[in-house]
Structure 1
Amino acid sequence: DATQTLDQGLGTVQAQLGELLRHEHAPLALAQQATSLPAQSPLFTSLLNYRHSPGAADGRTGLAGIRLLYGHERTNYPLTASVDDTGTGFRLSVQAGHPIDPETVCGLLHTAIENLVGALEERPDTRLDRIGVLDDRQHEQLLTTWND
């Protein structure tokens, strides 16, 4: 009886996954049409990459001992943040489409990560869009000072 229930559950998950895989390579233009955003609005304004790269703590060694001689990344987004998890630590790189103050970016990322970790520890069921990226001073400035 337990085996039959498990088989039914796995069958349901497999069917749902099969349905989702049909959309695996859907073009972003199609995704844009499914939103309420105006056609000229960008679907994304920033990008966060998380890469798990154990053994790449020195930033030069990758999978299976492959040594990186040179690399250059570029972005088509206004802001791209990449987190490299080396297994023993993290490396963070940020690219911006326009000049931006590095201290501002670091401050925003610090606040966002701090709030994310806090939510994961204290309220793991918190929706991602409910986790703030602004500190109290910036939040007050945005809502009060700049908003008449």
Structure 2
Amino acid sequence: ENMVLSKHYRLSFSITFLLCFHLANSQIIEVPILSPILTPLVPNILNFLDQRLELVFSIIQSFKNTITSDPLGITSTWVGSDICIYKGFYCDNPPDNLSATTVSSVDFNGFNLASPSLDNFIGQLPDLALFHANSNNFSESL
């Protein structure tokens, strides 16, 4: 009787082991291997079309931070490295380097922007040929 019980126990154990082994293998095979989500260790670095645009980026962003009123949401377009699509900014090739791209004109006409000053803005844009700013509220000095 002990021998029969022992054989029954071994058979039961073997079947249980095989079922567990099969179940584990089938789940491992059927479970898709998820690729790890790669998050950049370095924040997105802006890539500029030209170094002249990279130069004026911080000037524009600093000026944007001085805007106290923007009822039309113009400055919401002043994001990213493609400065040439910012509302009010126009790019062209400068006369001294026709293969370069730079901000050649700024037209804020009718934008109703308000800022206490245009200091450190217009004079900092090295290739600016035209500045148009009717119907805005810029105070103090240019």
Instruction: Give yes or no for TM over 0.5.
Output: no
Ranked by relative contact order (alpha carbons within 8 Å, sequence separation 6 or more), the top structure is 2
Give TM-score scaled by structure 1 length.
Answer: 0.21
Give TM-score scaled by structure 2 length.
Answer: 0.22
Larger radius of gyration: 2
More helix by share: 1
